[in-house]
Amino acid sequence: MKKTNDENIKQHYLMDSAPGAVTKINGKEYSYFGGTSYYELHKNKEVINSAINALKKYGINSSSSRNSYGTTQLLLDVEREASKFFNCDDAVYLPSGFLSDLAGVHALSSRKMFDVIFIDEISHYSNDYAAKLSGKPIYKFSHMDDVDLEKKMSSNLLPRQQPLIITDGIFPIFGKIAPVKKYLSIIEKFNGILWVDDAHALGILGPNGRGTYEHYGLTSERFYFGGTFSKAFGGFGGIIPGNKKFIDEIKNNQIQNGATPPPSSAAAASLTGLKLVKSKPELRLKLWRNAKRLKTGLRSLGIDVEDTNVPIVAWAMGNKSEMQKIQKELMKKNIVIQYIQYIGSGDEGALRIVVFSSHTPQQIDNLIYELKKII
Ligand SMILES: Cc1ncc(COP(=O)(O)O)c(C=O)c1O
């Protein structure tokens, strides 16, 4: 939990446009391979116009919580559409994806559905906080290691104690997909449940973009998850789909009712983004194709990256200053990738590349070409 990405702050990189395959930074346009605007919906006209119309109608925000007068039709529409998209009873819309983890794990705890937590050692900060705030005993298991997980459960659970496994669906730096299918078979043996932070997988993985559980073809009442509209969907705010009892628990708790809900402009953008992702499966296919092109190119340079549909890759090479040099050299060629120090990046940090559905093959090939010259 000690690392923050302070380098970018020190260097004063300021984004001067909406994020997209071409993004303005410090007043200059770059071929941009950072952030999480996987379908470039943050600058999509329909998304922006829906947000403008909502802003004009509802103002900046409702200045009132959901249990008072703060509920607008748009918030209800987001929740209804999300429950349809994820094929769940209901959904709850929250001010951030970070809060999704806090609210989700808190609700499972309030419903007394677990006694002990087993969390991936590099699960996202929000999952880490969620685990700590629950006040339950916490055991960390080795990253994506189902064998270590089972061993830790066997040796630490007391008779009749129920475990909760916490993990990210897609890990944000290296883009690895957690082996949740294996976790589910373990959790069944111990009569427990699973919480997945699916911030990077929603809209991305699975034939319908429903995320990690759809990617593995799973259906299980033991599987709980949440995510964000701020990445693939081009909107803003957190989302938790699920069964009625679980969602009711969140809707009635203080995280939901002690805070101003997301502004209606954010709700309108999220709703439009969700509908676009649903109605345009070709976006996902294009993204997966671009992910493949990027990864094939990187492998041709000897960089070891996994062959999955995930549009995120990262690797470490040399030390921190060598990696920062690579990032800066690419910037001179008008290409932005990220040097990042973040949870799971290792002490020296890593170089991270994210590809969007809107990148052209030429942009990807040019990145590989310039990277090859540098390294
Ligand atoms: C894995 C993961 N979980 C949660 C979040 C938080 O989501 P939000 O930005 O919507 O608060 C992020 C990042 O931004 C993330 O990468």
Looking at residue 147, which CATH number applies to its domain? 3.40.640.10
In a domain, 109, yes or no: yes
Residues written for the chain: 375
Contact 344 CB / ligand 1 (< 6 Å):
no
What stretches of the chain show up as alpha helix (H) in DSSP?
Answer: 6-11, 45-58, 73-85, 97-110, 125-134, 146-156, 180-189, 212-215, 244-251, 254-257, 264-279, 281-300, 320-332, 361-374
* Boundary-marking domain end, from 255, 279, 303: 279
Q: Say how many Å lie between the CA of residue 43 and the centre of ligand 1.
A: 20
Helices (H) and strands (E) in the chain, counts: 14, 13
219 and 98 in a common domain: yes
In a shared domain, residues 218 and 362: no
Q: Does 51 reside within a domain?
A: yes
**Secondary-structure percent of the chain, ordered helix, strand, coil, rounded to 5:** 45, 15, 40
The atom of ligand 1 lying closest to the CA of 229 is 10
250 closest CA partner among 226, 232, 220: 226
Chain segment 95-108, per-residue pLDDT in tens: 999 999 999 999 99
**Domain-ending residue, one of 250, 279, 308:** 279
pLDDT of residue 346: 85
Tens digit of each residue's pLDDT (9 = 90 or more) over 118-177: 999 999 999 999 999 999 999 999 999 999 999 999 999 999 999 999 999 999 999 999
Tell me, yes or no, whether 238 and 348 share the same domain: no
Percentage above 70 pLDDT, the chain: 97
> Which domain, by its residues, includes 336?
6-32+281-374
pLDDT digits (tens, 9 = 90+) for 43-101: 999 999 999 999 999 999 999 999 999 999 999 999 999 999 999 999 999 999 999 99
Query: pLDDT band for position 11 (50/70/90)?
Result: low
77, 105: one domain: yes
* C-alpha 98 to ligand 1 mean position (Å): 5
Say what the pTM is.
0.95
- Whether 1 is in a domain gets the answer no
Hey, whose CA ends up nearest to atom 2 of ligand 1?
199
**Per-residue tokens: 339:** 């040097």
Check pLDDT > 60 for residue 21. Answer: yes
Q: Write the residue with the smallest CA distance to atom 16 of ligand 1.
A: 172
Do 62 and 23 reside in the same domain of the chain?
no
CA distance 174 to 298: 14
Residue whose pair of structure tokens reads 């994506």 in the numeric block: 144
pLDDT in tens, 307-336: 999 999 999 999 999 999 999 999 999 999
DSSP state of 91: E
Number of domains in the chain: 2
User: Do 108 and 213 fall within a single domain?
Assistant: yes
pLDDT tier at 2 (50, 70, 90 boundaries)? Answer: very low
Q: Are residue 201 and residue 313 in the same domain, yes or no?
A: no
Beta carbon of 152 within 6 Å of any ligand 1 atom? no
- Containing 162, the helix (H) or strand (E) segment is none
Q: Are residues 212 and 142 in the same domain?
A: yes
What CATH number is associated with residue 26?
3.90.1150.10
